[in-house]
Amino acid sequence: MSTAVFPGSFDPVTTGHVDLIRRASRMFDRLVVGVLVNSAKQPLFSKEERVAMLREITVDQDNIEVSSFEGLLVDFVKEQHADAIVRGLRTPGDFEYELPLAQANHKLSVQADTIFLASAPEYSYISSSAVRELLRYQADISGYVPETVLRYMREHGVVSN
Ligand code: PNS
């Protein structure tokens, strides 16, 4: 059985993430979405909230699991008995950032082979950091995040409409 890990901070989950997760889930028997817990950062949403939102978004897909992890990605990959790490590429800048990361992960563990998935062009400008920036100015973020995340934001007073 082939297993891949799709790691990220997902703070918050964007429509671009959801597209990549769905496409990656068709390539592997099992896809584990790994939510990074970075204790050095204060996230917009807690680990539990990010995991809950991702579970709700992927509920219709039996081969997708959502878990959180702390520490090195390669250790999470080993724990999940995964064969691959999937990362999305939106821009050439993403590739410049991702390639050394993939090589560092490969040096740490040969099991952790990274596969890059080109993002669909309609999502190439969407990022979690852009969403956080737009929220700071109360700008419209519809289209940036899935409906589940918008609902969560309304319920938690992050957005008003
Ligand atoms: O969505 P993000 O924030 O771009 O995801 C980054 C992520 C989670 C893939 C990356 O920060 C990561 O793997 N962090 C865990 C620590 C680690 O293993 N670093 C790589 C060794 S150089």
Whole-number mean pLDDT of the chain?
Answer: 96
Query: Cβ distance 35 to 116 under 8 Å?
Result: no
The mean per-residue pLDDT over the stretch 19-23 comes to 98
User: What confidence tens digit (pLDDT) does each residue in 71-125 have?
Assistant: 999 999 999 999 999 999 999 999 999 999 999 999 999 888 999 999 999 999 9
pTM of the shown model: 0.97
Q: What span, in angstroms and rounded, lies between the C-alpha atoms of 148 and 63? A: 20
Q: How far is the CA of 73 from the centre of ligand 1 (A)?
A: 6
Q: Is the CB of 7 under 6 A from ligand 1?
A: yes
The model's confidence at residue 28, banded by pLDDT at 50, 70 and 90, is very high
Name residues whose C-beta falls within 8 Å of residue 142's C-beta, 6 or more positions apart in sequence: 150
pLDDT at 156 exceeding the cut of 90: no
Testing ligand 1's pocket by substitution, the residue of 72, 87, 123, 126 carrying the most ligand atoms inside 8 A of its CB is 72
Sign, CA dihedral 145-147-152-155, equals positive
**pLDDT at res. 54:** 98
